[in-house]
Amino acid sequence: MLNLSTAAGVREIFSRYDLRAKKKLGQNFLIDGHVLGKIITAANIRDGDRVLEIGPGIGGMTQALLRAGADVTAIELDKQLVPILQNLFAGEKLRIIQGDVLRMNLHEIFDIPSGGLRPPTPLQGGAMPPLDPQQETARSAVSDESFDGADPGEAGAVRRAARPACEVRERGSGETFSKVSPEKESANIKAVANLPYYITTPVIFALLESGLFESVTVMVQKEVAKRFSAGPGTKDYGSLSLAAQYFADATLVANVPSNCFMPRPAVDSAVVRLDILPAPRVDADHAKLFRTIHAAFGKRRKTLLNALDSEFPCGKPELAEILRSCDIDPQARGETLDIYAFARLSERLAESTGAMP
């Protein structure tokens, strides 16, 4: 079979099906087999593993996952690519679902009871701090390098793709992620993805909060990867670092230069592995904890006392006393506190009259 993780392989698929990468979907295809091998190794894919792949594209990662023996469920937003994937992997242990992963119920997809749908948590509901807009869309800002061939036509791609043996399903747009109790064990499913930058944060945290996965291995923008794995006192440490630590242990696996993709993105990437904890790292009220974290990092140059004063209405004298009771210097800044200190602080703020209504 054609190697789909090489420049020649990608060009052949694009020529065969009259395709072009869609800039609006952030499509950049990995063309470095060495990097792909690192992802498969980092994800610890074994024969028989159940794997969720988000955004398979033309199937480079899919091909490697199947060769490693995985039973793959792939969610692809681009309708034009679904029949191509069906054709390329006919007869393989692959289930293809067309749609937006952020509008799907993953528990239903894997036939695992969720105990009923619950309202979005603060992470899903938009409380995560947005990335710099220039960084968030950087991967879509590709260079002048492009593919040969005419503009794609969906009808043409469908016409050229043979009917496959693998399953394809289409999901409705009204579904959302469900949230399981923090104590629930994972379903021992692994998630692997080469994510467009514009959906990196919501997708990753939807996976972390679902309770279904034992690990999430993703290709993301290099600057975002550094935030995931950053510790207190470093320039990359912030709300994103703490949110990742709440759910998982983060490991930076590999840096991936932009020339490993076709078309070439404007920035470098990195692979991060998130090993999901059986329960959140700290025993604290989720909403109150992240309200405190977001307040502390909302204005990074401010001291904790000044940053918290804009969020909690109890006044600076009481806030200073609360901070000191947690062994925190009121003149310290948020980036000096670890997640355990934030947990203590959020609890004390909640106990204080008028501090956290």
pLDDT tens for each residue of 210-227: 999 999 999 999 999 999
| Number of residues assigned to the chain | 357
If asked whether residues 227 and 132 sit together in one domain, one would say yes
Residue-wise pLDDT for 79-112, tens only, equals 999 999 999 999 999 999 999 999 999 999 999 9
Percent of the chain with pLDDT over 70: 78
pLDDT at residue 25 tops 80: yes
* Domain shared by 87 and 174, yes or no: yes
Per residue in 134-147, pLDDT (tens digit) is 333 333 333 333 33
Q: What is the pLDDT of residue 126?
A: 40
Q: Is the domain of 184 the same as that of 66?
A: yes
How high does pLDDT run on average in the chain? Answer: 82
264 and 180: one domain? yes
Q: Are residues 309 and 195 in the same domain?
A: no
Residues 223 and 77 in one domain: yes
Last residue of a domain, one of 222, 251, 276: 276
Co-location of 48 and 189 in the same domain: yes
Where among 232, 252, 276 does a domain terminate? 276
Strands of 177-291, DSSP E? 189-194, 213-221, 248-256, 261-262, 269-276
CA–CA distances in Å: residue 282 to residues 70, 200, 338, 340, 347: 33, 24, 11, 7, 11
Q: Are residue 266 and residue 290 in the same domain, yes or no?
A: no
Bond into 263 cis (ω within 30): yes
Give the DSSP H or E segment for 12: helix 7-16
pLDDT tens-digit readout, 165-214: 344 444 433 322 223 334 445 568 999 999 888 889 999 999 999 999 99
Task: Round to whole Å and give the CA distance between 50 and 159.
Answer: 31
Range of the domain at 311: 286-351
Q: Rounded to whole angstroms, how far apart are CA atoms 236 and 229?
A: 9
Tokens of 232: 């207190």
Q: Residue 85 contacts by C-beta under 8 Å, 6 or more apart in sequence?
A: 56, 58, 59, 62, 74, 76, 94, 96, 166
Q: Looking at the predicted structure, is the pLDDT value of residue 132 above 70?
A: no
Is residue 249 located within the same domain as residue 308?
A: no
Instruction: Single out the residue in 227, 245, 276 at which a domain terminates.
Output: 276
Residue 2: inside a domain, yes or no?
A: no
With respect to residue 281, please indicate whether it lies within any of the assigned structural domains: no
How far apart CA 226 and CA 217 sit, in angstroms, is 14
Give the predicted TM-score (pTM) of the model: 0.79
Residues 215 and 322 grouped into a single domain: no
- The pairing of beta strand 261-262 with beta strand 29-30: antiparallel
Q: Check pLDDT > 90 for residue 68.
A: yes
Per-residue model confidence (pLDDT) at position 143 = 32
Please report, as a single letter, which amino acid is at residue 220. V
Is the residue at 224 inside a domain? yes
Same domain, 219 and 328: no
Residue 357: pLDDT band (50, 70, 90) is low
**Residue 160 counted as domain residue:** yes
Q: How many domains does the chain have?
A: 2
Print burial letters for 325-350: b (CB count within 10 Å at least 16), e (below 16).
ebebebeebbbebbbebbbbbbbbbb
